[in-house]
């Protein structure tokens, strides 16, 4: 009997081991390593120890300060004694930040799962809902409230517009109509396809824009000879334009929302139009330069392209005409209200409820359409906002800024360095995750010039285009089989080097 039970236990254990796929085991190893690294950082950074000031008045004043304020005083070189290390809430925030950064970088678990883990850890460790004496200075509800942030609703409104345009086929119809009017010459057609992708990426997901445009253009690409290098140029143009277009508006990409949310948290909100003024011109300059590069690098072998494939793609869906017209009117009204916020004063988030309410109530979108919305992106943004709140409020951001060589380099040089760091991180991890890490530091560093710092950081996150894994449009373009990793590296490298310079110079002037 004992042998039978032993054999049964061995069989069950063997079955469990076999059920553990290699990827699952690898993910577990990554999680453990990230946890060990975060714990090591937590232990290496000492807790704050403040030497008492000699002045009794200052000593009494210090006793009234919170841990976060103590740390901020120490970093800023305040007159209240010397401080070494971090307050306890700030140390725990550093642990959560390091753990999350490791998980995002290694992709041990999905990015949105890391964001949810961040919120959960902050509620348990910093919020301490069961401990009324928690000293982080942040109520646990503040971390959970980021899921209902106005930025989340703004992004949700953009997703609703994108879903309605996709369901009615208006996006594809519009793209085909524009491209057909540009003629069949390679140069103008490449410019047109990039321009349409760029505009769509400003208001809908750059992933959706790249997918749609590649579906429209691949038949045209297929009409070229197998040795025609222009095939690569067309595919690269759509991928790069989708990435660049996402820079132009607050809803264009998640890093933009992270930056806008951070500014709102410090009572310096940036509206829809002001973001476009700061981010769209650098993006437009870059797309013109990218177009010139692609025409030069992948010179077409023919003078005319076959546009017969547009006929099938240009027909809209068979939904009732009134629904298509309603989507057009709601889309136009929403964008117009976003761009004119300075005149009517209606916040962008409130405007976003126009498409949310009208298109859902009118039946343009049903329950299945709502289920297909990228909820993972919304959760990722919420996790980033929660992480930024903790990094700022606990004094960790100020402490990290104190480690920067601000007394050696000019503020512009340090800002440029942060943008390049964000761009480099975004090439190997989620650009939203990279923004989540860098934006709180940028906010704490650039006192008095927060907007001129975090907007370039967000642009830098979207300028990472060197690898197939850098952005979804890159991955989609690479998946067509028309381009190689070397093609992305060659084009993405100089974009990544030039975009931060342009964005920092422009934003320092207009913001």
Residue 511 has pLDDT above 70, yes or no: yes
Taking alpha carbons only, the member of 317, 339, 353 closest to residue 171 is 317
For 183-194, what is each residue's pLDDT tens digit? 778 888 899 999
Q: Let me know: does 504 contact 424? Beta carbons within 8 Å.
A: no
For residue 53, pLDDT beyond 50: no
Lowest mean pLDDT among 65-79, 149-163, 227-241, 461-475: 65-79
How does pLDDT run across 356-391, given as a tens digit for each residue?
A: 999 999 988 999 999 988 888 888 888 888 888 888
Distance CA 270, CA 101 (A): 27
Count of residues making up the chain: 511
pLDDT value at position 49?
A: 64
pLDDT tens by residue, 130-185: 554 445 567 778 888 888 888 889 889 888 988 888 888 887 777 777 777 887 78
Model confidence band, residue 241 (pLDDT cutoffs 50, 70, 90) = very high
Of these ranges, 14-28, 290-304, 463-477, the one predicted with the greatest mean pLDDT is: 290-304
Q: What is the 3-state secondary structure (H, E, C) of 172-224?
A: HHHHHHHHHCCCCCHHHHHHHHHHHHHHHHHHCCHHHHHHHHHHHHHHHHHCC
Q: Is 37 or 19 the better-scoring residue by pLDDT?
A: 37
Residue 87 has pLDDT above 90, yes or no: no
Q: What is the pLDDT of residue 84?
A: 57
Give pTM, 2 decimals: 0.76
Question: Each residue of 471-487: pLDDT tens digit?
Answer: 888 888 888 888 888 89
């Amino acid at each position: 009997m004992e042998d039978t039970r032993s054999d049964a236990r061995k069989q069950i254990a063997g079955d469990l081991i076999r059920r553990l796929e290699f990827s699952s085991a690898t993910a577990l190893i990554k999680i453990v390593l990230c946890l060990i690294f975060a714990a090591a950082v937590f232990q290496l950074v000492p807790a704050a120890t403040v030497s008492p000031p000699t002045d009794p008045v200052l000593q009494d004043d210090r006793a009234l300060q919170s841990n976060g304020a103590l740390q901020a005083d120490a970093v800023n070189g305040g007159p209240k004694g010397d401080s070494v290390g971090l307050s306890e809430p700030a140390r725990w925030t550093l642990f959560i930040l390091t753990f999350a950064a490791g998980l995002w970088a290694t992709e041990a678990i999905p990015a949105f799962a890391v964001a949810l883990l961040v919120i959960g850890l902050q509620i348990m460790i910093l919020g301490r809902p069961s401990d009324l004496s928690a000293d982080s200075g942040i109520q646990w509800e503040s971390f959970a409230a980021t899921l209902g942030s106005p930025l989340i609703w703004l992004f949700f409104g953009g997703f609703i517009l994108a879903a309605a345009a996709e369901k009615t086929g208006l996006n594809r119809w519009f793209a085909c109509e524009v491209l057909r009017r540009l003629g069949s010459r390679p140069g103008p057609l490449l410019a047109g396809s990039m321009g349409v992708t760029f505009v769509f990426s400003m208001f809908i997901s750059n992933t959706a824009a790249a997918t749609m445009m590649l579906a429209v253009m691949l038949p045209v690409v297929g009409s070229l000879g197998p040795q025609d290098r222009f095939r690569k140029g067309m595919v690269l143009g759509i991928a790069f334009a989708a990435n660049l277009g996402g820079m132009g508006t607050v809803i264009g990409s998640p890093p933009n929302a992270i930056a806008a949310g951070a500014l709102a948290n410090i009572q310096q909100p940036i509206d829809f139009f002001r973001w476009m003024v700061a981010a769209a011109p650098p993006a437009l300059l870059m797309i013109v330069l990218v177009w010139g590069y692609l025409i030069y690098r992948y010179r077409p072998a023919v003078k005319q392209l076959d546009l017969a494939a547009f006929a099938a793609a240009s027909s809209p869906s068979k939904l009732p005409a009134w629904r298509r017209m309603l989507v057009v009117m709601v889309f136009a009204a929403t964008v117009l209200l976003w761009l004119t916020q300075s005149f009517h004063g209606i916040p962008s988030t409130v405007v976003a409820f126009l498409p949310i309410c009208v298109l859902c109530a009118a039946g343009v979108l049903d329950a299945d359409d709502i289920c297909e919305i990228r909820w993972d992106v919304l959760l990722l943004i919420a996790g980033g906002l929660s992480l930024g709140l903790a990094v700022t409020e606990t004094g960790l951001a100020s402490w990290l800024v104190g480690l920067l060589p601000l007394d050696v380099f000019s503020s512009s040089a340090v800002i440029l360095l942060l943008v390049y760091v964000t761009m480099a991180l975004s090439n190997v991890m989620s650009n939203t995750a990279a923004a989540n890490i860098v934006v709180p530091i940028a906010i704490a560093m650039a006192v008095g010039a927060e907007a001129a710092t975090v907007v370039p950081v967000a642009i830098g996150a979207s300028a990472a285009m060197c690898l197939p894994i850098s952005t979804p449009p890159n991955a989609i373009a690479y998946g067509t089989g028309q381009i190689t990793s070397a093609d992305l590296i060659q084009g993405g490298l100089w974009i990544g080097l030039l975009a931060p310079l342009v964005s920092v110079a422009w934003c320092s002037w207009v913001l």
